[in-house]
Amino acid sequence: MRQLSLKGRTYPTDLNPGGTAFGGWVMAKMDKAASIAVDDIIKSPAVTVTVSRINFLKPIHNGDIFTIYTEITAIGTSSITIYVSVEVKNVETNEQYEVTSAEFKFVAINAEGKPVNVRSVLRDQIDEDTQALL
Ligand SMILES: CC(C)(COP(=O)(O)OP(=O)(O)OC[C@H]1O[C@@H](n2cnc3c(N)ncnc32)[C@H](O)[C@@H]1OP(=O)(O)O)[C@@H](O)C(=O)NCCC(=O)NCCS
């Protein structure tokens, strides 16, 4: 299920010398959004293991309000894959469009930092779409 995981605004300290949002800053926001989506379904901590297919489709400008949507697309033994999409709203037209997308993979871990089976740390209530991936 696609869900809104993070929302915010771009400020001057988030920009690259060209005046648009710095890619690493965008990735950090996406990582946080993905971790929130993971937290929604499991009780244990989880760490990012890979980030793939990152696409900076359009620039994000100073003052833009961004919304980050997440969707869990796969669940392995200890891993959870999340599609992350950043969208920006054009304040004049009210049109919202995708600016960046990527696939994040998280691994559920125990207190020793070792992978654990996702099914052993699931929250009591998870949405039907995620349930179908198990
Ligand atoms: C993530 C981590 C716990 C995995 O430990 P590991 O001993 O390599 O674990 P495994 O080899 O059993 O792999 C665990 C899962 O990750 C997946 N994985 C590991 N490396 C991968 C890679 N390079 N690409 C894709 N998947 C990978 C495995 O396929 C496996 O998935 P599955 O259980 O669903 O089948 C360990 O590599 C680690 O601590 N990395 C640092 C994480 C970190 O600091 N992230 C940044 C801050 S959050």
pLDDT in tens, 4-40: 999 999 999 999 999 999 999 999 999 999 999 999 9
Q: How far is the CA of 107 from the centre of ligand 1 (A)?
A: 6
CATH of domain 3-131: 3.10.129.10
Q: Classify residue 34 as exposed, middle or buried by CB count within 10 Å of its CB (0-12, 13-18, 19+).
A: buried
Distance CA 111, CA 46 (A): 10
pLDDT of residue 102: 98
pLDDT of residue 91: 79
Instruction: Please report which confidence band the pLDDT of residue 93 belongs to, taking 50, 70 and 90 as the band edges.
Output: confident
Distance CA 39, CA 118 (A): 12
Question: The whole model's pTM is what?
Answer: 0.96
Cβ neighbours of 35 (radius 10 Å):
20
Residues lining ligand 1, CB < 6 A? 47-50, 76-79, 105, 107, 109, 113, 115
pLDDT in tens, 65-84: 999 999 999 999 999 999 99
Please say whether the beta carbons of 20 and 61 come within 8 A. Answer: yes
Q: How far is the CA of 115 from the centre of ligand 1 (A)?
A: 7
Q: Is the pLDDT of residue 94 over 90?
A: no
* All structural domains of the chain with their residue ranges: 3-131
Nearest protein CA to atom 9 of ligand 1, as residue: 115
Instruction: Please report which confidence band the pLDDT of residue 90 belongs to, taking 50, 70 and 90 as the band edges.
Output: confident
